[in-house]
Structure 1
C-alpha cells in the first residue's frame, strides 16, 4: 500500500496541473474572443496550442477559409463567413463562452476562430487533406490528433462546403448546436436587421414607383394575357425543374453527338423543355385563334386566319407526338396506352408533362 501512495500523489498533481493548464487556455480564448468580437484569428502556433495540444476542455469552432483577394477569389468563403457571423452573434448573446452547468447536463464553453490560408498556415490545410476551402471544424477535447503527416479527426464534426450545397444560417447553427451540446436560437443583430429592413423598403419603394409609372400600361388586357402566357410557358417547360436539378440544355448520345431529346419519360434536357413548352403554347393559341374567327368581317380574312390557325394546331401536335414517341417508343396516337402500361390512378404516372 505504501508503494501506491507516491504514484497516486504524482498522478493527482499531474491531473491538477492539466486542469490548471486547460482553465488557463479557456480563459485566454475568452479574452481573445472578447477583443475580436467573437471570432478569434488563429496563427499556425495558435492552432497548435488551442486545437491540437492537450488539454483543451472547451469546444472550438474553427472556420478554415481564404480571404486573400489578390491570390484566391473565394465567393463561397465570404458567403459562409457572413452566415457564421450571425451564428457567432447568437452564441455571444447566450454567453456560450462560459461553461454551462445545469442538473443533468454539462456543456463546455464554446469559442469561434478563423484560420486563413497563407504560406504559414498551408501545412495545416495539407495535413487535413482538404481539397478546397471553406471548411468548418467543431473541435472537442479529443477530436483532433496530430499523426505527423496528417490530422486524424471525426468526420461528422467537419463540414466541407461546396457550391452545390444548400447552406443557410439556421442550418449552420443546427450543425454547430448538435456538436457543441447547446440549444442556441438564431438571432440577428440590430444593425443587420436595420440593413435588411432598409433594403426591403428600398426594393418595395422602387417596385411601387415603377408600378405607378406604368399603371396605364398594366390596365391593358392584352398585357395580362401575354403575362399569363409567359408564366404558363415557364411552368410547362419545366424551368423550375431544370434549376433544381441542374439540367443541361443539351446532352450527348453514345456516338458523342448532341442530343436534344432525353430518352427517359420523366427526364428532359433544358432545350427540350423549352421547345415542348413553346409548341404547347402556340398549339393553344391556334385553338384560341379558331375560336375568335367570328370577330373577323371579311371572308378572305376568315379563311386565311382560320387556315393558318389550323396548320399551327396540326404542326404543334404532330411535333409533340413525335417527341413523345422518342421518349416512349410504345406510344401511338390514340386515347389509351397499350395493355402492358401502368394500371391504376393517374398519380402513378405523374412526372410526365405530356
Structure 2
C-alpha cells in the first residue's frame, strides 16, 4: 500500500514538473532567427539603411527571393542612377518618395509583429544586375510586389502579375505620388503604412531664423528705396507708367497665364516664326504690337505737349509733322498685321 502511494506521488510530481517546464517554455520569446534567418538578416539591413530601403545586389536578390514560400513580402523599386538626371522620367522624385514611405513603415512598425512581414528594397540597373532585370522581363523602370507565396528559382525567369506592378504609365499624372505608393502597398500587402509626412523647408530648425532675416532685409531695403532721391523724380514715375501701359497692351499677363511661347518653329522650313496667322498670338507678336500702340501714344504726346513749347514756328512744325508721320506709320503697321491675320481689309475715307 505504501509503495502504491509512493508511486502515485512520484507520478503527480512528474506531471507537475512537466507542466511547469512547458509553461515556462511557452512564455519564452522565440528568436527571429528561429522563425526565418533571412527575415532577421533583412531587418538588420533595413536598420543600417538611412531611409529604410535595402539596396540589393544580384546575389542578394537571389538569396532573399528564392524559395517556394517566404515569411515576408518584398516591394522592389527598379531604379537606374544614370537616368536620374532626365527630368521627364522623374526618377529622383520617385526614389525620394519611395524612401519616405519605407522610413514611415520602419518607424511605425518597429518592435511589432508586422516589422518582419514587409521589406522595401531597390535594384539599380548596372552591369552586375542586368541578369535580374532580364529575369523580370523589365522593359521599363517600375515598382512591384513579390508575394510571399510566389515560387522563385535562382536564375529562372520571374513571372509577375500585372496587378502586382506599379508602373508610371498607369497613372494620368506624372510622377507617381507617395500616396499612390502607399495605396498600392496597402491594397497588395494588407499593411497600412498610414500618412507619410514629407519633410519640407518649413520644418527645418533654421527656417524661423532665415525667415526673420529675410523679412528684416526686405523692410530695410524698402525703407532705403522709399527715401531715395530717385523716388522724388517725376521722370521715374513717367517711365514706370509707360512700362505698365506697354506691358498691359502687349498682353504680358496673357502670356504669363496662358504660358504663350515667344517664338515657334515652322514645321516645314524649320525657321523661327514670330507671328502666327489666324487668331492666335505669340509672345513676340504681342510685344511688337504693344510697342506700336505705345509709339502712337508717344507721337501724339509729342504733338500736343512738346511741339507747342518750341520757340520757333519752324521747329514746332518739324516736331508736329514728325509726330504725325510716326503715328501714321505705326497705325499702318497695325492695320497690315490685322489684315494679314484676319483677311479683312480696311477702307480709307478722306
Partner deviation per Cα, 1:50-90 (whole Å, 9 max, x = no partner): 4575436435242513169xxx9667544443444444444
Aligned equivalents of 1:282, 1:258: Cα separation in 2: 22
Q: 1:208 to 1:92 in 2, by over 3 A?
A: farther
Q: Are 1:317 and 2:327 counterparts? A: no
- Which residue of structure 2 aligns with residue 45 of structure 1? 59
Kept in 2, the 8 Å contact 1:66–1:74? The answer is: no
Q: 1:176 to 1:79 in 2, by over 3 A?
A: closer
Partner deviation per Cα, 1:205-233 (whole Å, 9 max, x = no partner): 66666656655356732464365357544
- Which residue of structure 1 aligns with residue 147 of structure 2? 141
Kept in 2, the 8 Å contact 1:138–1:179? The answer is: no
Q: 1:207 to 1:191 in 2, by over 3 A?
A: closer
**Tell me, what secondary structure is at the counterpart of 2:123?**
strand
User: Taking structure 1 as the reference length, what is the TM-score of the superposition?
Assistant: 0.59
- Which residue of structure 1 aligns with residue 313 of structure 2? none
- Given candidates 17, 20, 44, the residue that maps to 1:31 is 44
Kept in 2, the 8 Å contact 1:41–1:113? The answer is: yes
| Structure 1 position 110, deviation (Å) | 4.5
Structure richer in helix, relative to its length: 2
Q: Which moved more, 1:43-52 or 1:194-203?
A: 194-203
Structure 2 regions of 5+ residues with no counterpart? 1-32, 187-191, 311-315
- Given candidates 166, 178, 187, the residue that maps to 2:183 is 178
- Which residue of structure 1 aligns with residue 122 of structure 2? 114
Aligned equivalents of 1:281, 1:67: Cα separation in 2: 47
| Structure 1 position 39, deviation (Å) | 1.9
- Which residue of structure 2 aligns with residue 225 of structure 1? 241
After superposition, where does 1:1-354 map in structure 2 within 5 Å? 25-37=38-50, 38-50=52-64, 54-55=69-70, 57-66=72-81, 77-95=91-109, 109-128=117-136, 135-141=141-147, 148=156, 151-154=159-162, 157-160=165-168, 166-167=174-175, 172-181=177-186, 182=192, 184-189=194-199, 193-194=203-204, 197=207, 215=226, 216=228, 220-222=236-238, 224-225=240-241, 228=244, 232=248, 233=250, 235=252, 238-239=255-256, 241-242=258-259, 249-254=263-268, 261-262=275-276, 265=279, 272-287=282-297, 289-290=299-300, 293-296=303-306, 297-298=309-310, 299-300=316-317, 303-304=320-321, 306-311=323-328, 313-325=330-342
Aligned equivalents of 2:336, 2:71: Cα separation in 1: 69
Aligned equivalents of 2:337, 2:221: Cα separation in 1: 39
**Tell me, what secondary structure is at the counterpart of 2:128?**
coil
Structure 1 regions of 5+ residues with no counterpart? 1-19, 101-106, 335-354
Partner deviation per Cα, 1:108-150 (whole Å, 9 max, x = no partner): 9553323222221122234555566xx3404151798879567
Kept in 1, the 8 Å contact 2:125–2:133? The answer is: yes
Aligned equivalents of 1:34, 1:64: Cα separation in 2: 21
Aligned equivalents of 1:86, 1:99: Cα separation in 2: 21
Aligned-residue CA RMSD in angstroms? 4.7
User: Taking structure 2 as the reference length, what is the TM-score of the superposition?
Assistant: 0.59
Kept in 2, the 8 Å contact 1:290–1:306? The answer is: yes
Number of residue pairs matched by the alignment: 287
